[in-house]
Amino acid sequence: MAKKIALVTGSSRGIGYGILECLAKENWTVVMSDIFEEEKVAESLAKLQATGADASYVQCDISNAESREKALATLAERYGRVDLLVNNAGVAPNVRRNILETTEDSFDRLININLKGTFFMSQLFANQMIAWKNEGLADYMPRIINQSSCSAYTSSTSRGEYCISKAGIAMVTSLFADMLAIDNIPVFEIRPGIIKSDMTATVEEKYNKFILEDGGLPTRRWGLPEDIGRAAAALASGAFDYSTGQVINVDGGFHIRRL
């Protein structure tokens, strides 16, 4: 059986790193990817490899077409296949502003990275996955997982551009799940809730109160990167292939409407 290759974008730390760890435990060869030169992620990559993971690195700025194409070409040469694409890379606003004050620069930045980047990474890799399938690549059953957020449906008026970018990913998932079903390439969406990471560190006090004191989540704890990683590993296993287009909420029950 051929070794399966998984690319996880934005994975030098945080949720993406947690996904790499969980996939590696399931015997995937994992590819860490981020916008940084390899020297800047060397410590993170070495830490992952020290766990026994078969791991490498490829630089990729998902908002840049040339960078996306270079990353795919590198992986095609290195491995001859990519069995799983996890579109995890994303950013939050540099400054939280309410929607009456949001700047076009901030809006454009989030749309270009979070939404446009996810769409065109999916397009690029989907076309290559179809080509590899048509070439008869052995034991090849590729999948795509998109990372959105509970912000896809939850209003946060202090970061509206983030919410819009994540809501768009929901449609990206539906579109590609529909388009690729004929080629037996399942596409899924994971919607994390409040996950302890660098992105939420600046609002830790706010979310501590919301989760631990106010009972804002049915499950009264922070989400962790490994919570997302385990969900991604389950989807990658093939157990849910007939559920293409499905959204998996990994949010401690936040999506449950309660009185």
pLDDT for the residue numbered 228 = 98
46 within a domain of the structure (yes/no) = yes
How many Cα atoms sit within 13 Å of 66 on the Cβ side? 0
165 within a domain of the structure (yes/no) = yes
257 within a domain of the structure (yes/no) = no
Please count the structural domains in the chain. Answer: 1
pLDDT digits 0-9 by tens, 162-221 = 999 999 999 999 999 999 999 999 999 999 999 998 778 788 889 999 999 899 999 999
Pair of tokens at residue 32: 């860490």
Three-state SS for 59? strand
pLDDT for the residue numbered 235 = 98
- Calpha distance 153→185 (Å, rounded): 26
CA geometry: angle at 155 spanning 97 and 99, to 5°?
A: 30
Whose tokens are 């969406």? That residue is 189
111 within a domain of the structure (yes/no) = yes
pLDDT for the residue numbered 135 = 96
pLDDT for the residue numbered 1 = 66
What domain range includes position 239? 5-248
Name beta bridge partners: 177: none
47 within a domain of the structure (yes/no) = yes
pLDDT for the residue numbered 179 = 98
CA–chain centroid gap for 236, Å, is 13
pLDDT digits 0-9 by tens, 66-81 = 999 999 999 999 999 9
| Contact yes or no for 134/211 (Cβ under 8 A) | no
Query: 57, 79, 140, 162: which is the annotated catalytic residue?
Result: 162
162 is catalytic: yes
259 within a domain of the structure (yes/no) = no
Q: What is the CATH number of the domain that holds 232?
A: 3.40.50.720
254 within a domain of the structure (yes/no) = no
**Which segments in the chain show pLDDT lower than 70?**
1
pLDDT for the residue numbered 2 = 72
pLDDT for the residue numbered 238 = 97
Exposure letters 122-159 (e unless 16+ CB within 10 A, then b): bebbbebbbebeeeebeeeebbbbbbbbbbbeeeeebb
pLDDT for the residue numbered 17 = 97
210 within a domain of the structure (yes/no) = yes
